[in-house]
Chains A and B, each alone.
Chain A
Amino acid sequence: MDVLIYLVPMALLLGLCGLAAFMWSLKSGQYDDVQGAAVRVLSDDDVRT
């Protein structure tokens, strides 16, 4: 069972990465306009003339 000694902390580390990613997305304002984000995905702003 010695494998747990590094497997479990590794799993926790991965979880922490997820938490960090969430914190970053919150800080960069990705939840400021959730409705807009839902409809912007449909717009072709990269081909705007």
Chain B
Amino acid sequence: MTEALDLSIYVKHQGDGTSHLDLAIEGIDCAACIDEIEGGVCRLPGIVDARLNYTNHRLAVEWREGALSPTQVVDELERLGYRAHPFRSGLMEEEEERRAKWLLKCLAVAGFASMNIMLLAVSVWSGNVTDITPETRDFFHWLAALIALPAVAYAGQPFFQSAMNALRNRRTNMDVPIVIGILLALTVSVVETINSAEHTYFDSVVMLLFFLLCGRYLDQAMRRRTRAVAGNLASFRAEVAHRIEESGEVVLVPTAALKTGDRVLVRPGERIAVDGVVVAGRSEIDESLVTGETAHRPVQADSQVYAGSLNANGTLTVTVTAAGKGTLLDEVERLLENAAAAKSRYVRLADRVAKVYAPVVHAAAALTALTWIATGASVHDALITAVAVLIITCPCALALAVPVVQVVASGALFRAGIFLNTGDVFERLATVDTIVFDKTGTLTMPGMRIVNAGDIDPALLGAAGRLALSSHHPLATAIASIAQGSPYDGVVEEPGQGVRAMVDGQEMRLGRPAFCGIDDCAAQVAASDPAASAIAFSWGGRRAVLLVRQALRPDAVAVVRSLRDDGFDCRILSGDRPEAVAPVAAALGIDWWRGGCKPTDKIDALEAFKAEGRKVLMVGDGLNDAPALAASHVSLSPIGAADLTQAQADAVFLGEMLRPVQDTVEIARRAHRLMRQNLCIALVYNLIAVPLAFLGYVTPLVAALAMSGSSTLVTLNALRAHGRGPAVPQGEPIPSPLRPAAQGA
């Protein structure tokens, strides 16, 4: 790096004379990296500690204040072959971290209590059929109560809180019957203990809590793992900007350090990192990431520019603005709010089941008590039987049925390079019947490619590539990507025209057709493909015209065809010009497409699909897609998407391939099938268990066996979601920093 990046806003001063910096590291692929990184950084003078977290690929560095600058650490890592990005964990991530720790504590307490109470309970059960004295039994029951009451008070908190929240909002969820069951069973057990009865249910209550907490923790671990990867990705892509100081000096700073009113210098070929107004300079900018439009827009003083646009050919000075009224971002945000509010809140499968389940269970328990009293049993016996019904129906397997499948399936998605933002995405994905694609950056690659390379003399093409290495123009990067060898010496860049150099005594030029003197020929070639930009190349008397445009993702045709074979209706909604969309739609064999869509048009189209009763999966990447993603039934984004867009998508996928879209749908369908199977297993279990409990055959021993049996069955069934992994295309390894952590905890 030629310019030093000012990292000071990421450094935490700890008050004891040391400074702390968190870095997300790219390029870790094996265990040996730990030693290499920690050893390398520790060799720098002034470092107090460097510790790499191998699970989430983050390095925490501490040094004596003033002993070195954070840039040295980044440079040292660069020298070792790793890219380091300053990292600040989001509020959300810290919150999840805290919650995961809390759940783990609850789990530990519940585990301890259930094991020890089971120890006492088994003694009582065996004693009841042999020769236990009533005194010993009472002693064991009192001990069990002594363990169970505080354990439930502590480990039950996640359920108490969630149930209270639901009741306060006048809803019920799965936690309401759980809490009622737990509290009733505890109360009855305490009363029975006081009355020196034979049976108590302390063991069932605590074991139930333990199983339920397992489900909660797994669910949490899945979301936390995704969030950690997302946090790293965000920091990899965190952008930098050249800020112009008061003194006129230009410094490289992270965009997070920019404030409204700062002036920023944007050179040709750089991405504009902020929203702002041009104060000086004149250029053309590529806004394909913002609007999907691939034709460049000319800008000059007083033009509004948006973060994510690519500056093509002139240097601009931009004043940073907060999103003003009437700007594109403002419009997008307003639409987003509406879309998110209007989005028919999807009710999760488990909650839908709970809604029916809770009243049925409570009615069954009440009916049991009444029937027993009516048939002449004592109130005491009737109550005990009713509680047994409640315990046996406590939705233990039901509460595990969905989260375990989610965890296993999200692991499968992880391996395919797909990261979920939300947990209930499987259920929504599984019902999709229509897939709507954005064009720019989704069906096509984010970058440009030469489309007529086959028609051009390879020697000439190679020379053009080497010359293009010296150009800053965005289109030149497409040509430079085929270069073999180093750039030529003495290359002159004429802004807005092209580059030229003397090679082997002949002048070589690359740039606008007029610049190379081959206007007529270029116009002819360009006519064959109106969507492409023509770039001319001349070397002495030899000439060529290169057509550059966005190319389809390599597997787009195959994936779209196989999606259609699977019965999905594929469509395109693009913000780009219709002339540019038509050839793509034709190449993919998609009949229904629309170009020139503004964000509102996309939402209108999606609403129309919804009115037809379609369940739409929207795949998009641009800022203009964000409201559409929020409005669709379920959404996916490639990793290169604008920040706001990624935040709206339900899942994000990696790599150059379109294949993950298909994998996602397939895995989700399998997962959804397993979830439904699991719920069926849980229900069948209840159908068998409830009549037994109703008739009074359920002793604490039977309850313990039935509960652990059904939970185990459901968990084993969920493991099948792991199954035969999706076929990850060969030769496209997932970039190492994003390699999934096999362990969620």
A interface with B by C-beta (< 8 Å):
1, 4-5, 8-9, 11-12, 15-16, 18-19, 22-23, 26, 31-36, 39-40, 42-43, 45, 48
Instruction: State the total of A-B contacts with C-beta under 8 angstroms.
Output: 64
| Residues on the A chain within 8 Å of B116, using CB | 11-12, 15
- Residue B108 at the chain A interface, CB threshold 8 Å: yes
A36-B115 contact in complex given A1-B136, A43-B34, C-beta closer than 8 Å:
no
A43 touches B35 (CB 8 A): yes
Q: Give me 19 other A-B pairs in contact (C-beta within 8 A), A23-B105, A34-B743 excluded.
A: A8-B120, A8-B140, A11-B116, A12-B116, A15-B112, A18-B112, A23-B108, A31-B104, A33-B54, A33-B55, A34-B745, A35-B55, A35-B742, A36-B52, A36-B53, A36-B55, A40-B54, A45-B35, A48-B35
| Residues on the A chain within 8 Å of B39, using CB | 48
| Residues on the A chain within 8 Å of B34, using CB | 36, 39-40, 43
Main secondary structure of the interface of B (DSSP, over half): helix
| Residues on the A chain within 8 Å of B53, using CB | 32-33, 36
14 CB < 8 A contacts A-B: A4-B139, A5-B139, A9-B143, A11-B119, A15-B115, A19-B109, A23-B105, A34-B55, A35-B55, A35-B741, A39-B54, A40-B54, A43-B31, A43-B34
Whole-angstrom distance between the alpha carbons of A23 and B101 in the complex?
A: 10
B278 CB, min distance to chain A CBs, angstroms: 46
Minimum CB distance partner of A32 in chain B: B53
Whole-angstrom distance between the alpha carbons of A26 and B140 in the complex?
A: 31
B interface with A by C-beta (< 8 Å):
31, 34-35, 39, 52-56, 101, 104-105, 108-109, 112, 115-116, 119-120, 133, 136, 139-140, 143, 147, 741-743, 745
| Residues on the A chain within 8 Å of B52, using CB | 36
| Residues on the A chain within 8 Å of B55, using CB | 32-36
| Residues on the A chain within 8 Å of B120, using CB | 8
Minimum CB distance partner of A12 in chain B: B116
A26 touches B743 (CB 8 A): no
| Residues on the A chain within 8 Å of B101, using CB | 26
Minimum CB distance partner of B132 in chain A: A1
A31 touches B745 (CB 8 A): yes
| Residues on the B chain within 8 Å of A22, using CB | 108
A36 touches B104 (CB 8 A): no
Minimum CB distance partner of A34 in chain B: B743
A10 CB, min distance to chain B CBs, angstroms: 12
Partner of B54, one of A8, A11, A19, A35: A35
Partner of B147, one of A12, A18, A31, A33: A12
Minimum CB distance partner of B108 in chain A: A22
Whole-angstrom distance between the alpha carbons of A5 and B116 in the complex?
A: 16
Whole-angstrom distance between the alpha carbons of A40 and B745 in the complex?
A: 17
Interface centre among B31, B133, B140, by most A CB within 10 Å?
B31
Whole-angstrom distance between the alpha carbons of A22 and B104 in the complex?
A: 10
Whole-angstrom distance between the alpha carbons of A32 and B31 in the complex?
A: 17
B743 touches A4 (CB 8 A): no
5 nearest A-B pairs in the assembled complex, by CB-CB distance = A36-B54, A39-B31, A33-B53, A35-B55, A19-B112
| Residues on the A chain within 8 Å of B743, using CB | 34-35
B736 CB, min distance to chain A CBs, angstroms: 14
| Residues on the A chain within 8 Å of B35, using CB | 43, 45, 48
Whole-angstrom distance between the alpha carbons of A39 and B31 in the complex?
A: 6
